[in-house]
């Protein structure tokens, strides 16, 4: 595992599984579907980073 944060490691696993799923599902539209998929994962990653920053600013622990 490359990250100490469970959510980030899970996002990486979901990312690889999502790519393989897209490739298996439809090869002709992988790029456009991948862009939409990446947008959703970007929102999840932003959410994690925002929660982490907010917890650090407030002095509380971040739940992994």
Q: Is residue 10 part of a domain?
A: no
Block residue for tokens 């490691």: 9
Alpha helices in the chain (DSSP H): 6-25, 30-58
Q: Is residue 49 part of a domain?
A: yes
Q: How far apart are CA 19 and CA 25, in angstroms?
A: 10
Q: Is residue 19 part of a domain?
A: no
- What per-residue confidence (pLDDT) applies to 61? 59
pTM above 0.85, yes or no: no
- What per-residue confidence (pLDDT) applies to 10? 82
Q: Is residue 47 part of a domain?
A: yes
- What per-residue confidence (pLDDT) applies to 64? 54
Name the residue range of residue 47's domain. Answer: 29-64
Q: Is residue 51 part of a domain?
A: yes
Q: Could you tell me if 3 and 12 are in contact, meaning their C-beta atoms sit under 8 angstroms apart?
A: yes
Q: Is residue 17 part of a domain?
A: no
- What per-residue confidence (pLDDT) applies to 58? 67
* Mean pLDDT for back-to-back runs of 10 residues, the chain (64 residues): 72 82 75 81 84 72 57
Q: Is residue 62 part of a domain?
A: yes
């Amino acid at each position: 595992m490359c990250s100490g944060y469970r959510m980030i490691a899970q996002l990486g696993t979901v990312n690889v599984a999502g790519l393989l799923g897209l490739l298996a599902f439809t090869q002709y539209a992988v790029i456009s579907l991948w862009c939409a998929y990446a947008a959703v994962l970007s929102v999840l990653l932003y959410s994690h980073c925002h929660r982490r920053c907010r917890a650090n600013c407030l002095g509380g622990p971040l739940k992994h």
